[in-house]
Amino acid sequence: MSRFVEILNSHDEELSVQSFEHIVRAMVNKLETDSGDIEMSFPYFMRKMAPISRIQSLLDYEVTFIGEIRRGSYKFLMKVVVPVTSLCPCSKQVSAYGAHNQRSHMTISIRANTSIWIEDLIRMAEDQASSELYSVLKRSDEKYVTEKAYDNPKFVEDAVRDLATMLNRDARIDAYVVESENFESIHNHSAYALIERNKAEETS
């Protein structure tokens, strides 16, 4: 275990998609092997501005880097969990007023053929949700966010299909897994959907 701590301490530069490969290669060299994996999860904070009041605050996202080396060949996977708001289209349609909504987690896991940074994936997920989340909101912001979600209802299946459509058009991405889990506000269970695709295998 101390060898892993030693490797991390010797790579004290800023952690990035590019620098992560150096850490994984240092590990396999240190362990005198030709294959190995490192998985690292951490909170990533992004400064966001409220839509009306323009108040700034930090929102945290869960990010995972997975680097693997197999007989000298390096592969990298990045996963981002993005909290969003989801509003139910069925509830909106059948109710005389209002509609139930809930906080959701949209998860994107990708393999890319070039550098894609965390904010890119966060924005993709937030753009396909009923509404994005903020840490600090004033009343004018709450009105905006509530009405935005009401005007953009989505089932969990809609969210993953729309996000997968974006990833299908992105030439930087070779493979992906898109997941969405709604923590239902009127049921004692979650709603869940997943789409997976490996574009690189389809063209090989």
**Which of 10-14, 35-39, 70-74, 155-159 has the highest mean predicted lDDT (pLDDT)?**
155-159
Residue 9: the pLDDT is 67
The answer to whether the predicted template modeling score (pTM) of the entire model surpasses 0.75 is: yes
CATH T-level topology, domain 35-203: Urate Oxidase (3.10.270)
Candidate from 5-19, 29-43, 52-66, 120-134 with smallest mean pLDDT: 5-19
- To which residue do tokens 């959701």 refer? 104
Inter-residue contact 159 to 115 (CB < 8 Å)? no
Residue 1 has pLDDT above 60, yes or no: no
Distances (CA, A) of 39 to 54, 146, 152: 36, 37, 36
Residue 203 has pLDDT above 80, yes or no: no
User: Where exactly are the structural domains of the chain?
Assistant: 35-203
Give CA 37 to chain center in angstroms.
21
pLDDT tens-place string over residues 148-193: 999 999 999 999 999 999 999 999 999 999 999 999 888 889 999 9
- To which residue do tokens 């935005």 refer? 148
Distances (CA, A) of 55 to 59, 88, 142, 146: 13, 28, 12, 17
Residue 13 has pLDDT above 70, yes or no: no
